[in-house]
Amino acid sequence: MITLHDKVFEPFILEDEILDRIGTMGATLSTEYADKKPLFIAVLNGSFMVSADLMKCMSIPCEISFVKVSSYHGTSSTGRVDELIGLNTDIKGRHIILLEDIVDTGVTVDKVVKLLSVAGPASVKTCTLLFKPDAFKGKKTPDYIGFSVPELFVVGYGLDYDELGRNLRDIYKLKED
Protein backbone atom coordinates (compact mmCIF):
# COMPACT_ATOMS: atom_id res chain seq x y z
CA MET A 1 0.00 0.00 0.00
CA ILE A 2 1.08 3.57 -0.58
CA THR A 3 0.02 6.98 0.66
CA LEU A 4 -0.25 10.02 -1.61
CA HIS A 5 -1.19 13.26 0.10
CA ASP A 6 -4.01 12.25 2.46
CA LYS A 7 -5.15 9.05 0.73
CA VAL A 8 -4.15 5.41 0.82
CA PHE A 9 -3.97 3.32 -2.35
CA GLU A 10 -3.59 -0.42 -2.91
CA PRO A 11 -2.17 -2.33 -5.90
CA PHE A 12 -4.67 -2.92 -8.69
CA ILE A 13 -3.00 -3.72 -12.04
CA LEU A 14 0.67 -4.72 -11.87
CA GLU A 15 3.42 -3.65 -14.24
CA ASP A 16 3.80 -7.10 -15.84
CA GLU A 17 0.13 -7.26 -16.69
CA ILE A 18 0.16 -3.69 -18.05
CA LEU A 19 3.18 -4.35 -20.27
CA ASP A 20 1.76 -7.63 -21.46
CA ARG A 21 -1.48 -5.96 -22.50
CA ILE A 22 0.36 -3.09 -24.20
CA GLY A 23 2.39 -5.67 -26.12
CA THR A 24 -0.81 -7.18 -27.46
CA MET A 25 -2.22 -3.74 -28.33
CA GLY A 26 0.99 -2.82 -30.15
CA ALA A 27 0.84 -6.03 -32.17
CA THR A 28 -2.80 -5.42 -33.09
CA LEU A 29 -2.15 -1.81 -34.11
CA SER A 30 0.95 -2.82 -36.08
CA THR A 31 -1.17 -5.24 -38.10
CA GLU A 32 -4.14 -2.94 -38.59
CA TYR A 33 -2.03 0.09 -39.51
CA ALA A 34 0.62 -1.62 -41.62
CA ASP A 35 1.39 0.69 -44.61
CA LYS A 36 -0.64 3.57 -43.06
CA LYS A 37 2.20 5.26 -41.16
CA PRO A 38 -0.15 6.22 -38.30
CA LEU A 39 0.37 9.36 -36.26
CA PHE A 40 -0.21 8.82 -32.55
CA ILE A 41 -1.48 11.89 -30.77
CA ALA A 42 -1.04 11.44 -27.05
CA VAL A 43 -2.86 13.64 -24.56
CA LEU A 44 -0.55 14.89 -21.80
CA ASN A 45 0.17 14.64 -18.96
CA GLY A 46 -1.24 11.26 -18.01
CA SER A 47 -0.44 9.39 -21.20
CA PHE A 48 3.34 9.89 -21.19
CA MET A 49 4.11 6.47 -19.75
CA VAL A 50 1.71 4.40 -21.84
CA SER A 51 2.91 6.30 -24.93
CA ALA A 52 6.52 5.33 -24.35
CA ASP A 53 5.73 1.66 -23.76
CA LEU A 54 3.24 1.38 -26.63
CA MET A 55 5.67 2.99 -29.08
CA LYS A 56 8.26 0.34 -28.18
CA CYS A 57 5.73 -2.33 -29.17
CA MET A 58 5.04 -0.86 -32.63
CA SER A 59 6.78 -2.78 -35.38
CA ILE A 60 5.70 -0.56 -38.30
CA PRO A 61 6.71 2.99 -39.27
CA CYS A 62 4.74 5.43 -37.10
CA GLU A 63 5.00 8.90 -35.60
CA ILE A 64 3.97 10.47 -32.32
CA SER A 65 3.03 13.97 -31.25
CA PHE A 66 1.92 15.20 -27.82
CA VAL A 67 -0.88 17.63 -27.09
CA LYS A 68 -2.57 19.26 -24.15
CA VAL A 69 -6.20 20.30 -24.05
CA SER A 70 -6.92 23.74 -22.74
CA SER A 71 -10.26 25.33 -22.13
CA TYR A 72 -10.47 29.11 -21.89
CA HIS A 73 -13.12 31.83 -21.87
CA GLY A 74 -13.59 33.32 -25.32
CA THR A 75 -13.87 37.08 -25.67
CA SER A 76 -17.48 37.07 -26.86
CA SER A 77 -20.52 35.22 -25.61
CA THR A 78 -19.33 31.87 -26.90
CA GLY A 79 -18.60 30.53 -23.43
CA ARG A 80 -15.70 28.15 -23.03
CA VAL A 81 -13.49 27.48 -26.01
CA ASP A 82 -11.44 24.31 -26.29
CA GLU A 83 -8.04 24.38 -27.86
CA LEU A 84 -5.34 21.82 -28.59
CA ILE A 85 -1.89 22.99 -27.57
CA GLY A 86 1.24 21.60 -29.14
CA LEU A 87 -0.04 20.07 -32.35
CA ASN A 88 2.41 21.40 -34.88
CA THR A 89 2.15 18.53 -37.34
CA ASP A 90 -0.13 18.82 -40.37
CA ILE A 91 -2.64 16.00 -39.87
CA LYS A 92 -4.44 16.40 -43.20
CA GLY A 93 -4.80 12.98 -44.82
CA ARG A 94 -3.12 11.23 -41.88
CA HIS A 95 -4.34 8.19 -39.96
CA ILE A 96 -4.58 9.37 -36.36
CA ILE A 97 -4.58 7.20 -33.25
CA LEU A 98 -5.57 9.33 -30.29
CA LEU A 99 -3.86 7.93 -27.22
CA GLU A 100 -5.21 8.38 -23.69
CA ASP A 101 -4.27 7.04 -20.29
CA ILE A 102 -7.89 6.83 -19.16
CA VAL A 103 -11.34 7.48 -20.59
CA ASP A 104 -13.83 8.18 -17.84
CA THR A 105 -16.91 10.23 -18.87
CA GLY A 106 -15.50 10.55 -22.39
CA VAL A 107 -15.75 14.36 -22.39
CA THR A 108 -12.02 14.87 -23.02
CA VAL A 109 -11.75 12.37 -25.83
CA ASP A 110 -14.86 13.77 -27.55
CA LYS A 111 -13.35 17.27 -27.42
CA VAL A 112 -10.04 16.17 -28.90
CA VAL A 113 -11.66 14.09 -31.65
CA LYS A 114 -13.79 17.10 -32.59
CA LEU A 115 -10.79 19.44 -32.68
CA LEU A 116 -8.75 17.00 -34.76
CA SER A 117 -11.53 16.20 -37.19
CA VAL A 118 -11.72 19.76 -38.54
CA ALA A 119 -8.10 19.46 -39.75
CA GLY A 120 -8.99 16.83 -42.35
CA PRO A 121 -7.34 13.60 -41.14
CA ALA A 122 -7.92 10.42 -43.19
CA SER A 123 -9.15 8.66 -40.03
CA VAL A 124 -9.25 9.13 -36.26
CA LYS A 125 -9.41 6.20 -33.86
CA THR A 126 -9.10 6.25 -30.12
CA CYS A 127 -6.91 4.09 -27.94
CA THR A 128 -6.88 4.14 -24.15
CA LEU A 129 -5.10 2.10 -21.53
CA LEU A 130 -8.02 2.30 -19.09
CA PHE A 131 -11.72 2.67 -19.73
CA LYS A 132 -14.55 3.14 -17.22
CA PRO A 133 -17.62 1.83 -19.08
CA ASP A 134 -20.03 2.67 -16.24
CA ALA A 135 -18.99 6.34 -16.21
CA PHE A 136 -18.85 6.74 -19.99
CA LYS A 137 -21.31 9.14 -21.61
CA GLY A 138 -19.36 9.90 -24.78
CA LYS A 139 -20.23 9.52 -28.43
CA LYS A 140 -18.26 6.41 -29.28
CA THR A 141 -16.62 3.71 -27.15
CA PRO A 142 -12.81 3.81 -27.58
CA ASP A 143 -11.62 1.65 -30.48
CA TYR A 144 -8.72 0.09 -28.58
CA ILE A 145 -8.97 -0.52 -24.84
CA GLY A 146 -6.30 -1.90 -22.52
CA PHE A 147 -8.42 -2.62 -19.46
CA SER A 148 -12.04 -1.87 -18.62
CA VAL A 149 -12.22 -0.92 -14.96
CA PRO A 150 -15.01 -0.16 -12.47
CA GLU A 151 -15.71 3.40 -11.34
CA LEU A 152 -12.72 3.57 -9.01
CA PHE A 153 -10.13 6.29 -8.63
CA VAL A 154 -6.81 4.96 -9.87
CA VAL A 155 -3.25 6.30 -9.85
CA GLY A 156 0.17 5.27 -11.09
CA TYR A 157 1.70 4.57 -14.48
CA GLY A 158 1.27 8.20 -15.51
CA LEU A 159 -1.97 8.84 -13.63
CA ASP A 160 -1.88 11.23 -10.69
CA TYR A 161 -3.64 12.15 -7.52
CA ASP A 162 -3.05 15.90 -7.34
CA GLU A 163 0.21 15.46 -9.30
CA LEU A 164 1.62 12.67 -7.14
CA GLY A 165 1.84 9.03 -8.22
CA ARG A 166 2.65 9.45 -11.90
CA ASN A 167 6.03 7.75 -11.40
CA LEU A 168 4.63 4.49 -10.04
CA ARG A 169 5.21 1.38 -12.18
CA ASP A 170 1.95 -0.29 -11.15
CA ILE A 171 -1.62 1.03 -11.16
CA TYR A 172 -3.18 1.48 -7.73
CA LYS A 173 -6.76 2.02 -6.64
CA LEU A 174 -8.09 4.09 -3.78
CA LYS A 175 -8.34 1.91 -0.71
CA GLU A 176 -11.84 1.60 0.66
CA ASP A 177 -12.10 1.45 4.41
- Report the catalytic residues: 104
- State the DSSP string of 30-66: HHHTTTT--EEEEETTTTHHHHHHHHHT--S--EEEE
- Least distance (Å) from ligand 5GP to the CB of residue 92? 26
Does residue 106 touch ligand 5GP according to CB under 6 A? Answer: yes
A 10 A CB-CB count for 154 gives: 22
Q: Which CB atom, from 33 or from 155, has the smaller least distance to ligand 5GP? A: 155
Q: Which CB atom, from 33 or from 43, has the smaller least distance to ligand 5GP? A: 43
- Least distance (Å) from ligand 5GP to the CB of residue 161? 6
Stretch that binds ligand 5GP, among 57-65, 113-121, 140-148, 153-161 (CB under 6 A): 153-161
Among 26, 46, 106, 138, binds Mg ion (CB under 5 A): 46
Greatest Cα-to-Cα distance within the chain, rounded to the nearest angstrom: 51
Element (H, E) at 111: helix 107-117
Residues found near ligand 5GP in the complex (CB under 6 A): 46, 102-109, 153-155, 159-161
